[in-house]
Structure 1
């Protein structure tokens, strides 16, 4: 089956796709909902499908325009008619600073705030609501809404549309591997969004957390269990980490059994490897080789040394020990699993000739390191910004994992096992971290420590051979 045939089976009909584009544009402009929906990602994906189906560009732009206008209009109407009730509605009842930030933005820019707000990220779904609450003239709001949507629609839709029209000409993919490229992209986006959403739902301020707390008080044994699980420093149950531990460890065991059952590369592995070979380029290979050195023992030591020294100097003993134990434990787990499973690599350069493939140690260790960094530092930011630390961690881990495919030293299933093992380690360490008293890391000199890590990493890349 060709890529075109496969995509046509995946994509909705043209009419439905236009409705989806309009709905995404509406939702990402809508008050409250627009704060949690990754509108840019969704609108780019939908526009790419439209470009692939070669839908008429005026229809695609019109759908996005109408959805954007409708979303801002609904937000404005909500603020205009429910001015007194909005501050008491969730999530503004728990985060009144969101309304305050939007109000300051509106007062600073006046009518133009509706235009600027369309492109201003966090305030985008708030400004129309604020404009309604402050009783901006409907006619004035209408022309600002329509004018900004006329610019917003092509700016957000055309890049994705052009990508959908031209990407087939950019790549010549081997037969059978094309669908894995799309599945990989979809899986990464879906899993990242699911992780971010679940972490938010299991946070202390969520409805689910409060409901579980109420249930825990109903029985003495539940109260005792709840109390034992609570964080010593923050008084919070690490529900997200507990859930991650169960899901990641179960998935790792099942995935490892599947790898052992096959006793060789999976069908997915062969096809993804063929895809990686088709995408080979000297620049990609050099980048992948650099990332291999960043993720080995010397590279990780260079990254961690300034932070570890600062943690010890400032007597953040609990944080230092959890980081050190996590990295040491992950190294031992990778060594043991590689020895027991003994899976052969696709290619084994001289420095890896004695190292087995499964799981990917680079991937699992990177996931653990950046996952723990995100978990530790997310405690120092406001709850509605915590997701940013996890997204940054995901963006840091992704190229490291994919570089192993470019170098042809791992199968794709090795990377999956590495991710699951790394997430299991993150969950275990984070649960333990919540049980020990620890001081805030807010005093850390972030920029100086980051520059020191980068300087040591540069020395490692320039002077040391691959380990």
Structure 2
């Protein structure tokens, strides 16, 4: 983010759509934090992260529209760390709630990314999808970016604790990713064993 500024934050959020284990809950506060330290402006952080959310979501929307549900299921089944059950839950949610699922789905971890696919599969009008995605993403992003910004503004008060906190965050992030990977690998092995039987 220091090198690419707000654009870098937007790029990271766009990538989060395609790789859901990449957590926006970490990226967004870091963008706000960098803005609080003066690396770029708060308005820039909010603009670029929301644009990144929209562009990433539009990419998955287009994928859903072009590929269709059955082929999407086969692709998701081959993706590491992503479960077909997550896609199924997202499709069910979408069929029950339509436009509301796009708006509120942008504020639900994991659904944030996957909700774009059924919107494309069901051919929701792209303008409606874009408006709902932008509105939902702007709210979600603002909450986390502003939290990080407040921390950045008060950096001098917490500077003595920063290096310890940074190490703790890195350890927690590594452990969280490791747990996620182990759970998904075990689930896939269990499924393949039951299929072999």
TM-score (normalised: structure 2):
0.81
Q: Which residue of structure 2 aligns with residue 253 of structure 1?
A: none
Gaps of 5+ in 1: 1-10, 211-233, 235-467
> Against the structure 1 CA distance between its residues 147 and 203, is the aligned structure 2 distance closer, same or farther, given a 3 Å change threshold?
closer
The answer to whether structure 1 residue 75 and structure 2 residue 63 are counterparts is: no
Q: Deviations over 1:26-65 (max 9, x none)?
A: 123x14x12x112112221232122112632221211111
Residue in structure 1 matched with residue 194 of structure 2 by the alignment: none
* Aligned residue in 2 for 1:441: none
1:12 and 2:9 are equivalent in the alignment: no
Q: Whole-Å Cα distance in 1 between the matches of residues 9 and 114 of structure 2?
A: 21
1:21 touches 1:47 (CA, 8 Å); kept in 2?
A: no
Residue equivalent to 1:3: none
The counterpart of 2:169, out of the listed 180, 186, 189, is 189
Q: Deviations over 1:231-270 (max 9, x none)?
A: xxx8xxxxxxxxxxxxxxxxxxxxxxxxxxxxxxxxxxxx
Higher relative contact order (CA 8 A, sep 6+): 2
Write out aligned runs for 1:381-396 (5 A): none
Structure whose alpha-carbon radius of gyration is higher: 1
- Unpaired runs of 5+ residues, structure 2, are 191-197
Equivalenced residues, count: 186
- How far apart are 1:202 and its partner, in Å? 4.9
Residue 157 of structure 1 deviates from its aligned partner by 1.1
Which residue does 1:160 correspond to in 2? 148
Q: Could you say which residue in structure 2 is the equivalent of 1:135?
A: 123
Alpha-carbon shift at residue 122 of structure 1 (Å):
3.1
Extract structure 1 runs of 4+ deviating beyond 6 A.
Answer: none
Aligned equivalent of 1:41: 26
Greater helix fraction, Structure 1 or Structure 2: 2
Q: Is this contact kept in 1: 2:31–2:45, CA < 8 A? A: no
Of 70, 78, 92, the match for 1:104? 92
C-alpha displacement of 1:99: 1.6
Aligned residue number for residue 144 of structure 1: 132
Instruction: Work out whether residues 47 and 160 of structure 1, in 8 Å CA contact, stay in contact via their aligned partners in 2.
Output: yes
Q: What do the CA deviations read for 1:160-218 (whole angstroms, capped 9, x no partner)? A: 112101232x45x6xxxx3xx22222222222222333344456737xx98xxxxxxxx
